[in-house]
Structure 1
């Protein structure tokens, strides 16, 4: 997903740290798409990770850019991964002719997409809290604060999903809180977090332009299994 933390002035950006945060962020999306959807017994979906390799002109410390989004050394972006390919004008209208089981399946997929969007910036926030030895919980971070973790674009997409689901802002807020908690619990699960970190390490160490779906799933499968038997957090 696109990062967006804009500024009108040139700001110093720590390139290696931006690379780590972005890798964790995109790995969070990928882990939720694959592991989260699989847990919910949702159908498989195509996704892959595009990686911009660091070249000889890449700064080893800092660069000056107008925003994190426009930094040319922002190296990783996920493609695909959505279960709902086209948002309806109204979910109620879209599923009005569905059977009860079809409605349930559609809404499960719809909510999964929202959780998967939130998982990226939440993974980045989780990484920074661990790095700085700070506590993190759903009581200490809010959906709106995900703007500070490269999540502005993700939140825009989430709000589009919610607007198609409910017209009442209070219902939208309640659903966002519910799915935000689900996304946090996903990232906070030891096996999932270990898989996210392993995939981020794979991204940072890769010499490829693209990690395909099979390669991503292989890493996530191996390390999520190991994480179930690990005390690492």
Structure 2
């Protein structure tokens, strides 16, 4: 999960603002993976946040990224052949993982869009920020992976559109939840305050579990 900075954004976004937006973006992914998967009772998936210098001229334009974090590590060549070797329960679990991974991929750029809208005192909704607009919020790389998921799992184009609309709205609802948003901003603050190149899973878990308890949520799911 990588935040891809659009080429026309380098001259209009300050270094500090780019760092903040990037931290929000990656924190969005991390919170969705950590809390979202738990809420769906999916198995834990380990990841780490890789932090590089937010240089405007970095060749790969990926100041930070989530390494790992996907339930489906390698997409199958043919989902039909894969399903033929799975039980009904295994197929259901695979479907859950497919949907969770897509939501977690979308949450990063949606979180960034949510941050920018609030910064500018603007409204935000799935209709005001359609999925194609996520390219403007570092989402190009993630959207490419989402498309690969859809092409692999759903053959019919109309069904692809129906499913991605459903999951896009689910991702928006996730970041629009007050607790989830406060967790995203808390983790983003931690990323910005700690001068580290790598924040591992255990460290992220500690930050988010602490935030969970401070929010009065009791035991973490």
TM-score of the superposition, structure 1-length normalised? 0.86
Shift of 1:12: 4.8
Structure 2: 5+ residue runs without aligned partners? Answer: none
Shift of 1:52: 2.6
Q: Which has the higher helix share?
A: 2
TM-score of the superposition, structure 2-length normalised? 0.90
Which residue is 1:47 aligned to? 47
Matched, 1:92 2:80: yes
Deviations 1:104-157 (A, max 9, x none): 111101110000000000000011111111111122211111111000000000
Pair 224,135 (structure 1): closer, same or farther in 2 beyond 3 Å? farther
RMSD over aligned Cα, in angstroms? 2.2
Check the 8 A contact 2:112/2:137 in 1, yes or no: yes
Which residue is 2:17 aligned to? 17
SS at match of 2:84: coil
Which residue is 1:76 aligned to? 64
SS at match of 2:67: strand
Structure 1: 5+ residue runs without aligned partners? Answer: none
Number of aligned residues: 217
Which residue is 1:193 aligned to? 181
1:123 to 98, 111, 131: 111
Check the 8 A contact 1:121/1:150 in 2, yes or no: yes
Paired with 1:69 and 1:37, the residues of 2 have a C-alpha distance of 33
Paired with 1:191 and 1:8, the residues of 2 have a C-alpha distance of 33
Shift of 1:227: 4.2
Summarize the alignment of residues 24-35 of structure 1 with structure 2, pairs less than 5 Å apart. Answer: 24-35=24-35
Q: Which has the higher strand share?
A: 1
